[in-house]
Structure 1
Amino acid sequence: MEEKVKNLRIEDLRKELEKARSQFYIFYELTQAMRTTLRLEEISYIILTGLTAHHGLGFNRATLFLVEEKEKTINGLMGIGPMDSEEANRIWKAIEDQKMDLYALIKAYHKI
């Protein structure tokens, strides 16, 4: 029984390691994409795409805010995500049908 528990723990650790490896790779891809531009709007889109893309971190929606220290305010810079579940399903289906990876999603920004 002790051996079975040990093997289950090892398997859990392998899964955690794979998840961490996958997330680090996503961050690597995003930093490589961010190096292609100096424009804040494009960098913001790359970050948000990485947060919301299925190939990225997979959040449904994301928003970036900038802190204005002099005015002591927080201003919305950019947000991304579907308006409702119907739009989300349509978008994800199109992404899957076209087999778009993270780079393809980021490249799509330039076509908008």
Structure 2
Amino acid sequence: MSKYKIVGIINLFLGIPILLLALSFFILIIPKLSQLYSEFHASSQVSITSSYAVTIILLLTASANIFLGIKGISISQKKDKYFKYGLLLVIVTFLFSGFFIGILNLSVLLPIYNLTKQF
């Protein structure tokens, strides 16, 4: 197996779970949390906005990982260019995905604790 395919497979293995996590937050969790806050008339616009911002960053990172993973596996003339970008994105994803996922979880969970303090 060539180095291009290895980096492509790593990009796919990093991109798909992050994409599923970000989509689940974007489609399911954040809207239900917004509805909960509106029912209790709690002020949570800052946390919801930051949750959406972090989710969009994760969606963009996951999409780039999946795109470069497909380019790394497929036959292409610009393999060296995609290999460099793919390897760089693997490193960036390893370094920052845990941070962004932690921030996303905190921005969703901390307002729930603040909601219990209000009542």
Give 1 or 2: higher strand fraction.
1
Give 1 or 2: higher helix fraction.
2
* Fold conserved between structures, TM > 0.5: no
What is the TM-score normalised by the length of structure 2?
Answer: 0.39
What is the TM-score normalised by the length of structure 1?
Answer: 0.41
Q: Which has the higher contact order (CA 8 A, sep 6+)?
A: 2
